[in-house]
Amino acid sequence: MNPNCEHWTGGDDRHFWRVLSAKIASQRVPFSGSLALTHRCNLECVHCYARERSDRDAARPELTAGQWLEIIADIKEAGCLFLLLTGGEPLRRDDFPEIYSFARRNGFLVTLFTNATLVGDSILSLFRDLPPRLVEVSIYGASAGTHDRITGIPGSFARAMEGIEALQSEGIPVRLKSVLMTLNDDDFPAIEDLARSRGIKFRFDPAIFPSLAGDRGPLDLRVPPGRAVDLEMADPDRTREWREFYRSFREEPTGDGLFNCGSGVNTFHIDPRGRLFPCLMVRNAGYDLCPGRFQDGWGQAFHDFRKAMPDARSSCRGCEKKLLCGYCPGFFEMENGSETSPSEYMCAIGQHRFAKLNSEACGG
């Protein structure tokens, strides 16, 4: 949890959510989950973590709508309330309205991650009848030149802006997000201005990691840690949020285990093939839902995962900057091939955030 990774908590009443999440964790209720409906996408973003080896490989094993409906019914019974529909591009599926409608009619609070280029009349009509909790749109530049260079598709910026405007015209809650990289770092003040001009909240993340298929090419797009944090803390409101977050949580015990987040405790992720994971980034602990049921996977699959311990020599043990770096053993595995080998890049991000927050606190 951190100010840049705010999914189901909402951020409006931190004390309420902290108390509630503690109770949920103590009973191990899968309160929040993400469903990657597809890894296919109509864009070709250079940094994409979900990219498969080919569009055909990605499409062939996907779950049918009927299978997704069975899974959604199961996770409702297990106690899930907050649901994230993501991809790839989830609107790429022709049966998206069927899956989405079933989730909403079953009481889920649904967030959609999309590039907004496929938002048309049918989607607007669907959202008008069954509004989502939030639609979060990825924007990679303040102009077509930057954005379309990253997505690889000419015209994608214009279509995304049309989609955003259409969603806003229907009163649908929209938030913009982006990934900071060498191809767009100069654009970031303008991207934030773009969001402000439309009254939309904006968040971004400097964390870029290899793709799920093992491509390490995206690592070359990382912005130097100092530059990334300078851009992040250039916004006084974001600096304040980071400071409040750090003050709120730094005294709380994080536990001795390798994983000390909600993964496999109150959150989960299901990929397009029906494999249940503790979260998107953890790939070493999974359960196949095609022959199995969610309740069985949730009850049996993650015991060893939660018992894993960090390397006794790890620099992360007892580190006071652990809340600020984006600590995630799943990220470590993707980058270094080991859940116990920290990302030097994310460690440097944490060090710069720590220094910046302390400098600001001292008036420096």
DSSP string covering 38-82, please? -S--SS--TT-SS--S-HHHHHTTPPPHHHHHHHHHHHHHHT--E
Burial of 12 (0-12, 13-18, 19+ CB in 10 A): exposed
pLDDT of residue 261: 82
Would you state the pLDDT for residue 150?
98
Q: How far apart are CA 85 and CA 103, in angstroms?
A: 10
What is the bridge-based pairing of β-strands 275-277 and 287-288? antiparallel
CATH number of the domain at 143, please: 3.20.20.70
Q: What is the pLDDT of residue 8?
A: 42
Q: What is the DSSP string of 202-244?
A: EEEE------TT---GGGGGPPPHHHHHHHHHTSHHHHHHHHH
Tokens describing residue 132: 């989502």
- Look at residue 123 in the predicted model and tell me its pLDDT: 98
Query: Does the pTM exceed 0.85?
Result: yes
Please indicate, yes or no, if residue 133 is contained in any of the structural domains.
yes
Q: Is residue 298 part of a domain?
A: yes
Q: Give the amino acid at 73.
A: A
- Per-residue tokens: 54: 């080919």
> Is residue 175 situated within a structural domain?
yes
Q: How many domains does the chain have?
A: 1
How are the residues of the chain apportioned to helix, strand and coil, as percentages rounded to the nearest 5? Answer: 45, 10, 45
Each residue of 221-256: b (16+ CB within 10 Å) or e? Answer: bbbebeebbebbbeeeebbebbbebbeeeeeeeeee
Q: How many CA atoms lie within 13 A of 114 on its CB side?
A: 25
pLDDT of residue 4: 38
Residue 130 lies in a domain: yes
Judge whether 137 lies within some domain: yes
Structural domain range at position 206: 22-221+253-309
| Residue 356 domain flag | no
Q: What pLDDT score was predicted for residue 310?
A: 76
Return the H-helix or E-strand segment holding 168: helix 156-169
Q: Looking at the domain assignment, is residue 127 inside a domain?
A: yes
Residue 293 pLDDT = 92
Q: What is the block-wise mean pLDDT of the chain (364 residues), using blocks of 10 residues?
A: 42 58 72 95 93 55 94 96 96 98 98 98 98 98 98 98 98 97 95 95 92 88 97 92 87 73 89 92 86 89 76 78 89 89 94 89 50
Which residue, chain included where needed, has tokens 């109150």?
266
Residue 50: inside a domain: yes
